[in-house]
Chain A
Amino acid sequence: QQQVKQSPQSLIVQKGGISIINCAYENTAFDYFPWYQQFPGKGPALLIAIRPDVSEKKEGRFTISFNKSAKQFSLHIMDSQPGDSATYFCAANQDAGNNRKLIWGLGTSLAVNP
């Protein structure tokens, strides 16, 4: 059972457009929500993260929107560029005392057409 559900599975956007990836979670104990970017042949790299005490966080062209009541969070990529073409993963942290571990979505493959 997937505790973090990510959609869409794949996304094609034109250069300059907005890419939007959504995630929904079930466990209200999650307290940290990162997004990772993975290029082919590379491991995931932390892109941006948010905690549930804020509703939005922006870093450059990347914005996380967080809706605590709906248990949803999303990644917006403004002015999408071909270099943004990658797989994006959302995740959530399950903090059980010292046993912190990330629960991951299944990923979204983003292609930005030039």
Chain B
Amino acid sequence: KAGVTQTPRYLIKTRGQQVTLSCSPISGHRSVSWYQQTPGQGLQFLFEYFSETQRNKGNFPGRFSGRQFSNSRSEMNVSTLELGDSALYLCASSPRAGEINEQFFGPGTRLTVL
């Protein structure tokens, strides 16, 4: 069974731009969570989607948004990019909502904001 895939793997943007990241969960998994990983803050939870609905949200500004499609694929969007948004963005899928102990991570998208 294929793992969680994320595209693109690397991205370079400039301040003020917006970016869209994509995540394809493991086949059969209906929940997708997004995390931001930085050296100083570690992994921080962004949001979780299940059945096309956001069911949980972390403490990030409204510039960070996401959505989930009927095939469980998810996208994350960051608008008006800031230098501090440079990070590894990880997506994780699980069979059901809130299944933290059955959560599988993708390799991440490395975003650099110049």
Smallest CB gap from B88: residue in A: A43
When distances are taken between beta carbons in the complex, the residues of chain B under 8 Å from A60 are none
Q: Is the CB of A93 within 8 A of B43?
A: no
Tell me whether A107 and B56 are in contact in the complex, defined as CB-CB below 8 angstroms, given that A34-B100, A43-B107 are known contacts: no
Tell me whether A106 and B42 are in contact in the complex, defined as CB-CB below 8 angstroms, given that A43-B90, A100-B98 are known contacts: yes
A89 to B43, CA, bound (A): 9
Smallest beta-carbon distance A35→chain B, Å: 12
Q: Is B64's beta carbon under 8 Å from chain A?
A: no
When distances are taken between beta carbons in the complex, the residues of chain B under 8 Å from A101 are 45, 48, 56, 58, 100
Number of A-B contacts (CB under 8 A): 53
Q: Which of B42, B56, B108 contacts A100 (CB 8 A)?
A: B56
Hey, what's the 0/1 contact readout for B85-114 against A, CB within 8 Å counting as 1?
A: 000001010000110110111111000000
When distances are taken between beta carbons in the complex, the residues of chain A under 8 Å from B65 are none
- For the side of the interface on B, what is the size category? 20 to 34
- For the side of the interface on A, what is the size category? 20 to 34
Q: Is the CB of B56 within 8 A of A99?
A: yes
Q: Is the CB of A43 within 8 A of B100?
A: no
When distances are taken between beta carbons in the complex, the residues of chain A under 8 Å from B26 are none
Q: Is the CB of A104 within 8 A of B42?
A: yes
A-side residues, CB < 8 A to B, are: 2, 32, 34, 41-46, 49, 89, 91, 93, 98-102, 104-107
A42-B105, A46-B103, A106-B41 given; name 18 further pairs at CB < 8 Å: A2-B42, A34-B100, A41-B107, A43-B92, A43-B105, A44-B90, A44-B105, A49-B101, A93-B100, A98-B56, A98-B97, A99-B55, A100-B56, A100-B100, A102-B45, A104-B43, A106-B39, A107-B42
